[in-house]
């Protein structure tokens, strides 16, 4: 059976839950991946009655849900907090903005998210971690001995209790490996796993769009972390576009012609989704393919519908036979 194709609702938080679910159904999706902002999935309200009602509305719409996403709160757990975070966090987490208080409240919220996920009946929470050392990624003056290691120790200190709670609830935390996080490529993803002693509740939400423009082998990532890919985002990106603003972006907004790279509707960028599907088949990934739609030059409803069709056209089940072996079978 083909994998279910879902729509990540994070970029649609301006629409009420029932509206985006109805639209996703009309676009051709099999379900939704609910963002934990807007009214799509509200952790603070997510007692059993809330979760049951939310699930009932999905069933009524003929839609499934396999994962929820806590990117915004997760970002604040390890980040160097500043006023930018106020725009992405609920008031009860940002509070007075005192950095350590924000980080502690964000960690508590992630634990509550694991509990809510269990009540809701999903086994994966996707998200970010933030990073206390992202600002050191291209450092001058040179990084001091131990500075990077201290960042991974900080990640382990803050997230190990969170992962323990996820494990207790039977839920996985899937980090979307992404610049500004503790893991942003293959090497840093391996280091993050090492930092938490390969905690069984910690793995990845695979998203190729964050690798291609960096020059990271996004197919190799699948094979390298085959047993840690808990969820998959289908998101496209184009690179080698303009040459005024390079990989770091040049402080130029998205969808400007001078940018070296920009996100695109799925199938319209440089990502080779054929290779991704074959690799996912090789590692026996059977979970959803969740479209995270971003394209600053296209109407989003057109793009979401187009992306759904494209992903379904590319997905196919793996073979259960070895072709040449059939000659021997035929001769028996």
Summarize pLDDT for 223-242 with one digit per residue, the tens: 999 999 999 999 999 999 99
State mean pLDDT over 59-79.
Answer: 98
- For residues 10 and 17, give the distance between their C-alpha atoms in angstroms, rounded to a whole number: 11
At residue 329 the predicted structure's pLDDT band, cuts being 50, 70 and 90, is low
Cα–Cα distance for residue pair 206/144, rounded to 1 Å: 31
In a 10 Å sphere around its CB, with 0-12 CB exposed, 13-18 middle and 19+ buried, how is residue 325 labelled? exposed
Tokens 């509200």 found at:
42
All domains in the chain, ordered by first residue: 5-330 (3.20.20.150)
| 181 contacts 135 by C-beta, under 8 angstroms | no
Say what the pLDDT of residue 319 is: 82
Burial of 194 by CB count in 10 Å (0-12 exposed, 13-18 middle, 19+ buried)?
exposed
Give just the sign of the alpha carbon dihedral 244, 249, 250, 253: positive
User: Residue 330: its pLDDT value, please?
Assistant: 56
Length of the chain: 332
Strands 5-8 and 289-291: parallel
Residue 328 has pLDDT above 80, yes or no: no
Is residue 307 within 8 Å of residue 1, measured between CB atoms? Answer: no
What pLDDT was estimated at residue 321?
72
Q: At what angle do helices 99-120 and 71-78 cross, to 10 degrees?
A: 140
Q: 152-168: per-residue pLDDT in tens?
A: 999 999 999 999 999 99
| pLDDT tens digits for range 206-217 | 999 999 999 999
Say if CB 305 and CB 266 are below 8 A apart: no
Average pLDDT, the chain: 96
Per-residue model confidence as pLDDT tens digits over 182-224: 999 999 999 999 999 999 999 999 999 999 999 999 999 999 9
309-326 residue pLDDT tens: 999 999 998 887 766 555
Q: How far is CA 303 from the centre of its chain?
A: 19
Contacts of residue 22, Cβ cutoff 8 Å, sequence gap at least 6: 61
């Amino acid at each position: 059976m083909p994998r279910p194709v879902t729509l990540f609702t994070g970029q649609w938080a301006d629409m009420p839950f029932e509206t985006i679910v109805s639209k996703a159904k009309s676009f051709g999706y099999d379900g939704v991946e609910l963002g934990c902002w807007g009214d799509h999935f509200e952790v603070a309200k997510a007692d059993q009655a809330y979760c049951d009602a939310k699930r009932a509305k999905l069933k009524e719409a003929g839609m499934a849900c396999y994962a929820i996403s806590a990117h915004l709160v997760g970002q604040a757990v390890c980040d160097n907090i500043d006023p930018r975070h106020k725009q992405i966090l609920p008031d009860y987490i940002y509070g007075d903005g005192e950095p350590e208080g924000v980080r502690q409240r964000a960690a508590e919220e992630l634990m509550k998210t694991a509990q809510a996920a269990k009540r809701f009946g999903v086994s994966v929470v996707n998200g970010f971690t933030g990073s206390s050392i992202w600002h050191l990624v291209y450092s001058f003056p040179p990084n001091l001995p131990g500075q990077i290691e201290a960042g991974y120790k900080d990640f382990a200190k803050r997230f190990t209790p969170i992962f323990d709670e996820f494990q207790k609830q039977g839920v996985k935390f899937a980090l979307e490996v992404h610049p500004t996080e503790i893991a942003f490529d293959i090497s840093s993803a391996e280091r993050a796993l090492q930092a938490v002693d390969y905690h069984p509740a910690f793995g990845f939400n695979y998203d190729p769009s964050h690798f291609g423009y960096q020059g990271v082998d996004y197919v190799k990532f699948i094979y390298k972390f085959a047993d840690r890919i808990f969820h998959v985002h289908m998101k496209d990106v184009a690179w080698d576009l303009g040459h005024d603003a390079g990989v770091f972006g040049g402080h130029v907004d998205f969808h400007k012609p001078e940018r070296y790279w920009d996100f695109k509707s799925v199938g319209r960028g440089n990502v080779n989704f054929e290779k991704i599907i074959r690799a996912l088949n090789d590692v026996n990934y059977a979970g959803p393919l969740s479209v995270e739609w971003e394209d600053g030059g296209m109407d989003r409803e057109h793009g979401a519908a187009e992306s759904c069709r494209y992903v379904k056209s590319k997905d196919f089940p793996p073979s259960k036979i070895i072709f040449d072996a059939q000659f021997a079978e035929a001769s028996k």
